[in-house]
Amino acid sequence: MNLIRQSSLGISGALHPYLRSDRPHPIPVLQNREWSGLFQPLHGRQVKLPVGLPRIRPKTFWYVSAGRDFRPLVFLSDAYRQHRLAEHSIPRPELFVYTCLGADGLNSLKAGMTVYKDKRTEITILSLQPLQIDRGKVTYLINPDFVHFADDPLQKHDHDAALMELEVKSLTLGTTDRFSLLYLAMENINCFDEVMANGWFDVQFLCTTREGLGFGGCGKSILSHVYEEGRNLTHRFHPRFVITWSDYTDQLFRNCAKRYYPELRRLAPYIPENLGARDHHLYECWNQHKPGVVIPQMGSQFPRP
């Protein structure tokens, strides 16, 4: 397997054993780490967090291969949850984290840009703070087996991440919502191994509706990496909700999830990309308020089948 380690200094063939995608995760979770520590000052400016956004392990919606798809913000807006999801008691995340590489991603977004508008909804980027991942703490790895059409963003830009504030406006109800979104120009499995698996964020939602396997350029599903290979499912990374697409990854997830979640439930339909389609599915894997559900302590290995 041709593994390439990429850093701000260029490309080398060396790979630290902790950086392999097939390694276990022995690195202990430090529960008091501020996630802003993932980034180094850019042009002398430190990371400035929006008011109210937790500094330590915010409850997170992680969207892999997100591109410029902002449906999750609509789906989990207060208006949508009250009118469409009330019976399921689905919580609102404190932070959205997007990962994606390619032109239709981070560097196509600007402050003030309307990123979506139809007769019902308008989504606007209110602010955008460019960030640079601290590659002394997080090794930036692009594995050509996992992503086929991507380059290190620092080859062309001065940043590889951004923290945004977005507004979701309902044009029919007259309501507005604001969300914080952290966009990481990273390959999905690299992001999992280096960031998510080490407890920087409390990932409550995992969204996999746009992985683009095959001709889309994605060589391996995050669902396969986490659930099929089992060892990666720990309390450091244990999403309560998973959103899938009706390609083989949905079947893969359901087959694997049975080993861990005997009460796996399919909830309300997720917003489709094509009007009228029913090809995206929202699952609840576990519910800590149900009797008999035991959640292991932070840092422990999730029970294997």
Indicate left, alpha or beta for 78 from its phi (over 0: left) and psi (-120 to 50: alpha).
alpha
In a domain? residue 34: no
Strand partners, 165: 127, 180
Amino acid 299: pLDDT:
40
Q: What value does the mean pLDDT of the chain take? A: 81
Q: Which amino acid is at 34?
A: E
In a domain? residue 186: yes
Strands 176-184 and 161-170: antiparallel
In a domain? residue 132: yes
- Whether the pLDDT of residue 181 is over 50: the answer is yes
Cα 126 to the center of its chain, rounded Å: 21
Range of the structural domain that residue 84 is part of: 56-284
In a domain? residue 31: no
Q: What is the pLDDT of residues 246-292, one digit of tens each?
A: 876 788 888 888 788 888 899 988 888 777 777 889 999 886 655 44
- Whether the pLDDT of residue 99 is over 90: the answer is yes
Amino acid 148: pLDDT:
64
In a domain? residue 232: yes
Domain count, the chain: 1
Distance of alpha carbon 61 from alpha carbon 74, whole angstroms: 13
Owner of token pair 């009330």:
86
Amino acid 182: pLDDT:
98
Amino acid 89: pLDDT:
83
Collapse the DSSP code of 87 into the 3-class scheme (helix H, G, I; strand E, B; otherwise coil) and give the result. helix
Show the CA angle centred on residue 76, arms to residues 72 and 80, nearest 5°.
Answer: 115
Q: What is the pLDDT of residues 1-47, one digit of tens each?
A: 333 333 332 323 333 332 333 333 444 455 678 999 999 999 989 99
Amino acid 184: pLDDT:
97
In a domain? residue 12: no
Q: What is the pLDDT of residues 203-253, one digit of tens each?
A: 999 999 888 654 445 668 898 888 887 667 776 888 999 999 887 678 888
Distance of alpha carbon 117 from alpha carbon 54, whole angstroms: 29
> What confidence tier does 305 reach under pLDDT thresholds 50, 70, 90?
very low
Q: Which amino acid is at 228?
A: E
pTM for this model (two decimals): 0.84
Amino acid 289: pLDDT:
57
Owner of token pair 């963003």:
153
Q: What is the pLDDT of residues 63-93, one digit of tens each?
A: 999 989 999 999 999 989 988 887 788 999 9
- Whether the pLDDT of residue 171 is over 80: the answer is yes
Show the CA angle centred on residue 150, arms to residues 147 and 156, nearest 5°.
Answer: 155
Amino acid 217: pLDDT:
59
> What confidence tier does 161 reach under pLDDT thresholds 50, 70, 90?
very high
CB 193 within 8 A of CB 236: no
In a domain? residue 96: yes
**What whole-number percentage of the chain has pLDDT above 90?**
47
Task: Name which residue leads in pLDDT, 143 or 40.
Answer: 40
In a domain? residue 190: yes
Q: Which amino acid is at 94?
A: E
Cα 96 to the center of its chain, rounded Å: 7
pLDDT mean over 164-188 = 95
Q: Which contacts of 80-89 are long-range, i.e. CB under 8 A and separated by 24 or more positions?
A: 84/268, 85/267, 85/268, 88/267, 88/268, 88/284
Amino acid 22: pLDDT:
39
- b/e sequence 72-85, b meaning 16+ C-beta within 10 Å: bbbbbbebbbeeee
